[in-house]
């Protein structure tokens, strides 16, 4: 047994032999390839997600501590080909986006170091700084001494980062949405929610919302229909702040969409902090405004894109919560269900509010 295998075996991780072998194989390839002086000190396991799992490689290089993250695809036999393609796609996107920001002052992106096809994984350099969601949570604690000006500065920079991302990434294919496509997307989510629980949205509520949606789309300007690259989970938890530099990461689902998609996703992500036990609505609203100012957008509450995306995201989240509820089991599942109910009520209340505007 070599040193890498010994470190892994000393951990009490609940991972299968195949994953363990892939991790060991990747590390033994990566360490000598990166630097002849690189020494592995430890391996840390991070929370797994639906399609990936992540390990931190703590190393030393010429007496200096340096860490990397190795991101692996889950490889269930029935989805192996798709999962291998997905992790390669994320690696390629990570490289492309890093290249966009490499020469930008005050803006950066996580750097992918190497891809390993056989292990279906890639390695990234560790990012420095603090996540924006952590900064926000810290600033909302009672008697917090954290400088809110720095928090607002990071939110402003997050808006700027998104604008650079959208303006710099090339769009392949259609560059403008058709209004019919936008309408069909919302209608499809009504069908998805109804298929999971037909009692959630009444016929009357559905009719009102569809009417509101059609009216909003009809009011879209040509500029409102522009297609750009989208992060797909642009939120405070996917951005780091290192002094005055903002660093983006997590590009597993980068696609093309409305230029408003990531904008509203970010502001709605900020709204979710209002459900935390400790919150400060004034600070959250200020963060939203600083973000929009950084992006260069002033959106009135009755703007048609705001109405459309509030309906779209509320339906999307309801569908996700209903699917998650079906997966919940045991005592932990009951706790998750209780937590999800609060979000469920929030989105359903939002839909009712929009319907009655």
Tell me the pLDDT of the chain (357 aa) as tens digits. 588 888 898 888 888 889 999 999 999 999 999 999 999 999 999 877 667 899 999 999 999 999 999 999 999 889 999 999 999 999 999 999 999 999 999 999 999 999 999 999 999 999 999 999 999 999 999 887 778 999 999 999 999 999 999 999 999 888 999 999 999 999 999 999 999 999 999 999 999 999 999 999 999 999 999 999 999 999 999 999 999 999 999 999 999 999 999 999 999 999 999 989 889 999 999 999 999 999 999 999 899 999 999 999 999 999 999 998 887 777 766 677 777 788 889 999 999 999 998
* HEC-encoded secondary structure of 146-214: CCHHHHHHHHHHHHHHHHHHHHHCCCCCCCECCHHHHHHHHHHHHHHHHHHCCCCCCHHHHHHHHHHHH
The pLDDT of residue 10: 87
How far apart CA 36 and CA 62 sit, in angstroms, is 10
Q: What angle do CA 226, 296, 310 make, to 5 degrees?
A: 60
Is residue 257 domain-shared with residue 302, that is, in the same domain?
A: yes
- Structure tokens given for 35: 């630097």
How far apart CA 260 and CA 127 sit, in angstroms, is 27
Is residue 70 domain-shared with residue 188, that is, in the same domain?
A: no
**Dihedral through CA 208, CA 209, CA 212, CA 214, nearest 10?**
-110
The pLDDT of residue 332: 66
Which residue is associated with the tokens 């409102």? 224
Is residue 223 domain-shared with residue 300, that is, in the same domain?
A: yes
How far apart CA 54 and CA 56 sit, in angstroms, is 7
Is residue 171 domain-shared with residue 265, that is, in the same domain?
A: yes
Closest alpha carbon to 164 in 201, 109, 118, 110: 109
How far apart CA 11 and CA 321 sit, in angstroms, is 33
- Full domain range(s) for residue 60: 3-125
Cβ-based burial of 47 (10 A; exposed 0-12, middle 13-18, buried ≥19): exposed
Is residue 121 domain-shared with residue 138, that is, in the same domain?
A: no
Q: Can you give the CATH number for the domain in which 121 is found?
A: 3.30.200.20
The pLDDT of residue 50: 66
């Amino acid at each position: 047994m070599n040193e890498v295998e010994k470190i892994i075996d000393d951990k009490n991780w609940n991972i299968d032999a195949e994953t363990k072998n892939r991790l060991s194989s990747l590390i033994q390839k990566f360490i000598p390839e990166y630097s002849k002086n690189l020494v592995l000190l430890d391996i840390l396991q991070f929370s797994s997600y639906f399609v990936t799992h992540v390990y931190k490689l703590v190393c030393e290089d010429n007496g200096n501590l340096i860490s990397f993250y190795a991101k692996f695809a889950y490889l269930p036999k029935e989805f192996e080909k798709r999962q291998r393609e997905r992790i390669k796609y994320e690696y390629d996107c990570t490289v492309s986006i890093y290249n966009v920001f490499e020469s930008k002052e005050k803006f950066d992106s996580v750097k992918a170091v190497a891809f390993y096809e056989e292990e279906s994984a890639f390695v990234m350099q560790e990012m420095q700084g603090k996540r924006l969601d952590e900064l926000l949570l810290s600033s909302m604690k009672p008697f917090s001494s954290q400088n809110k000006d720095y928090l607002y500065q990071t939110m402003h920079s997050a808006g700027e980062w998104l604008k650079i991302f959208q303006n710099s990434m090339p769009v392949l294919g259609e560059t403008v949405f058709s209004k019919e496509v936008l309408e069909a997307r919302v209608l499809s989510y009504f069908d998805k929610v109804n298929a999971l629980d037909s009692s959630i949205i009444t016929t009357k509520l559905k009719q009102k919302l569809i009417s509101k949606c059609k009216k909003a789309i009809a009011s879209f300007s040509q500029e409102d229909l522009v297609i750009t690259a989208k992060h797909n989970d642009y939120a405070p938890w996917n951005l780091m702040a290192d002094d005055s530099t903002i660093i983006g990461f997590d590009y597993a689902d980068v696609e093309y969409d409305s230029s408003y998609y990531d904008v509203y996703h970010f502001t709605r992500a900020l709204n979710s902090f209002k459900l935390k036990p400790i919150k400060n609505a004034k600070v959250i609203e200020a963060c939203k405004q600083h973000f929009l100012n950084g992006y260069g957008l002033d959106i009135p509450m009755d703007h048609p894109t705001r109405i459309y995306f509030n309906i779209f995201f509320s339906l999307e989240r309801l569908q996700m919560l209903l699917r998650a509820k079906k997966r919940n089991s045991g005592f932990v599942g009951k706790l998750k269900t209780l937590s999800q109910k609060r979000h469920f009520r929030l989105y359903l209340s939002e839909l009712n509010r929009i319907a009655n505007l």
